[in-house]
Structure 1
Amino acid sequence: MGYGLLAGAIAAEILATTSMKYSDGFSRLWPSLVTGVGYLVAFALLAQALKTLQVGTAYAIWSGVGTTAIAAIGVLFLGEALSLAKVAGILLIVAGVAVLNLGGAH
């Protein structure tokens, strides 16, 4: 159940962050509302997930997967450049989350 809640928190955070890009500095109503609601849902679900998951592991997964997904969305859909440094950074994030999970963080 905890990982399902965490997945929902990640999805809400990705939606909120992507909507923030389209809010044009919070000058557009609907993307701004989606951003606010998305972050509220993300934090509420993360808080519920932390009832059963360890905070270090849950937060690492939440932030790592969210960061990786947002970077991919930026490159695939928003025209952001993909550099070797960006790829290396994403791989390091994924590796760090994997090490936390394999290293007895359960």
Structure 2
Amino acid sequence: MGSLTLAAAITAEIAATTSMKYSNGFSRLWPSLGAVLGYLVAFALLAETLKSMSVGTAYAIWSGVGTAAIAGIGMAFLGEAVTAAKILGVLLVIAGVLVLNLGGAH
């Protein structure tokens, strides 16, 4: 159950960050509300996840997967440059999350 809650928290965080991009510095109402609501949901779900998962593992997965997903969305859909450094960075984030999970997620 903790993994599903964590996946939902990650999804909410990705939606919130994407909405923030479209909020134009919180000057557009609907994307701004989407960002605020998305982060509230993400933190609530992350807090629920922490009832059954260690904080280090849960936060590493939440932030790492969210970061990698947002970087991918930026490059694939928002016109951000695709560089070797960005791709390497995303791969390193994913590798770090994997190492943390293999090294101590019970």
Alignment of 1:75-90 (within 5 A): 75-90=75-90
* Number of the residue aligned with 1:11: 11
* Number of the residue aligned with 1:46: 46
Letter in 2 for 1:47: A
Structure 1 ranges of 4+ moved more than 2 A: none
TM-score (norm 2): 0.98
Alignment of 1:30-45 (within 5 A): 30-45=30-45
- The size of the alignment, in residue pairs, is 106
Q: Distance in 1 between matches of 2:105 and 2:49?
A: 15
Deviation track 1:9-31 (CA, whole Å, cap 9, x = no partner) reads 00000000000000000000000
The alignment partner of 1:103 has SS state of helix
Q: Distance in 2 between matches of 1:46 and 1:13?
A: 10
Deviation of the 1:105 alpha carbon: 2.7
The alignment partner of 2:92 has SS state of helix
Q: Distance in 2 between matches of 1:93 and 1:79?
A: 21
For the aligned residue pairs, the C-alpha RMSD in angstroms reads 0.6
Deviation track 1:43-101 (CA, whole Å, cap 9, x = no partner) reads 00000000000100000000000000000100111000011111111111000000011
Q: Distance in 2 between matches of 1:104 and 1:12?
A: 26
Q: Distance in 2 between matches of 1:22 and 1:35?
A: 9
Q: Distance in 2 between matches of 1:102 and 1:65?
A: 16
Gapped regions of structure 1 (runs ≥ 5) = none
Deviation of the 1:104 alpha carbon: 2.2
Q: Distance in 1 between matches of 2:52 and 2:82?
A: 37
Q: Distance in 2 between matches of 1:86 and 1:101?
A: 23
